[in-house]
Amino acid sequence: MTQRTPLVAANWKMNGSKALVAEMTTLLTRADLQGIDVLLCPPATLLPLFTQAEKLALGGQNLSQFQAGAYTGELSASLLQQAGASYVLVGHSERRTLFAEDDELLLAKVQQAVSTGLTPVFCVGENLQQRQQEKTTEVLAKQLAAVYASHPELLAKSVIAYEPVWAIGTGEAATPEQAQQAHAAIRQQLARYDATAASKVRILYGGSVNAGNAGALFSEADIDGGLVGGASLKPAEFLEICLRAKD
Ligand code: 13P
């Protein structure tokens, strides 16, 4: 069996503050996080404030598909890296739906991340209608194919996040069985492109993860950690969630 180090990631979205950076850093740096990787993705302007956080990895929530140039308001992979990031979220459902990010654009973003040395956390997930129509596996396969079918070499450099849209911010997480089923389907799909990388790639679950449900989710065979939204803004609860990945 492939051993995969659990990864628990916080996605603060457009929330947080200097005070939260300080509070989170104090709590997490005192905790025993051995054996797990913890990643914080705050708004990019807060990244340089994590000065005491050697044990923690930092990430952006989005990046430009361009390397540099006249793209007012955009942030390149290199700028994120200089601000302290080693990871970046790509294709979060809020980017896909609210900012119309499509498959072609997301491939370019994953390529930018990897070529700069950032690890993309590539997010996939079906919406409620697609689940009800039993199209989950098909939707996930299409989203994954958009990046990894033509560029299988990117898989070994990636993390995948399964975030069912209906579970994001709703308080209604997928059940461990539902999530495991989707994660197994994702791994199986990715194995078509690179079987070795597919067995090693970390697949995170996201969508209403909290301290109460994290343990059961993380104990599933193909769930290698979580991507946590709302609960990651509460330092004590986020730490609890991180510790569940150690159990
Ligand atoms: P919630 O944990 O608030 O449901 O958000 C999940 C998410 O979108 C993380 O990227």
Closest by Cα among 41, 40, 92 to 206: 92
Residue 80 covered by a domain: yes
pLDDT in tens, the chain (247 residues): 468 999 999 999 999 999 999 999 999 999 999 999 999 999 999 999 998 778 899 999 999 999 999 999 999 999 999 999 999 999 999 999 999 999 999 999 999 999 999 999 999 999 999 999 999 999 999 999 999 999 999 999 999 999 999 999 999 999 999 999 999 999 999 999 999 999 999 999 999 999 999 999 999 999 999 999 999 999 999 999 999 999 7
Residue 2 covered by a domain: no
- Residue 206 Cβ contacting ligand 1 at under 6 Å: yes
Residue 215 covered by a domain: yes
Return the residue whose CA atom lies nearest to atom 5 of ligand 1. Answer: 229
Number of independent structural domains in the chain? 1
169 CA closest ligand 1 atom index: 4
Residue 168 covered by a domain: yes
CATH number at residue 213: 3.20.20.70
Residue 135 covered by a domain: yes
pLDDT at 49: 96
Q: For residue 38, give the 3-state DSSP assignment.
A: strand
- Residue 53 contacts residue 86 (beta carbons within 8 Å): no
- Residue 169 Cβ contacting ligand 1 at under 6 Å: yes
- Residue 199 contacts residue 191 (beta carbons within 8 Å): yes
pLDDT at 2: 62
Residue 14 covered by a domain: yes
- The boundaries of the domain holding residue 133 are 7-244
- Residue 86 contacts residue 118 (beta carbons within 8 Å): yes
- For the chain, the 3-state helix, strand and coil shares in percent, each to the nearest 5, are 45, 15, 40
Q: Is 151 a catalytic residue?
A: no
The catalytic position among 92, 94, 126, 237 is: 92
Residue 1 covered by a domain: no
The token pair at 170 is: 């709703």
Closest by Cα among 62, 65, 60 to 82: 60
Buried b (16+ CB within 10 A) or exposed e, 152-189: bebbebbbbbbbbbbbbeeeebbebebbbbbbbbbbeb
- Ligand 1, pocket-test mutation among 209, 210, 242, most atoms within 8 A of CB: 209
- Is residue 110 packed enough to be buried (19+ CB in 10 Å), middle (13-18) or exposed (0-12)? buried
Residue 68 covered by a domain: yes
Instruction: Give backbone dihedrals phi and psi of 193, rounded to 5 degrees, phi first.
Output: -90, -40
Taking CA 225 as the corner, what is the angle to CA 223 and CA 226, rounded to the nearest 5 degrees?
110
Return the residue whose CA atom lies nearest to atom 9 of ligand 1. Answer: 229
Closest by Cα among 210, 229, 48 to 123: 229
Distance 11 CA to ligand 1 centre (A): 7
Q: For residue 196, give the 3-state DSSP assignment.
A: helix
pLDDT at 171: 96
Distance 226 CA to ligand 1 centre (A): 9
Q: For residue 67, give the 3-state DSSP assignment.
A: coil
The owner of tokens 């005070």 is 19
H/E segment holding residue 129: helix 128-132
The catalytic position among 101, 163, 183, 237 is: 163
Q: Is 92 a catalytic residue?
A: yes
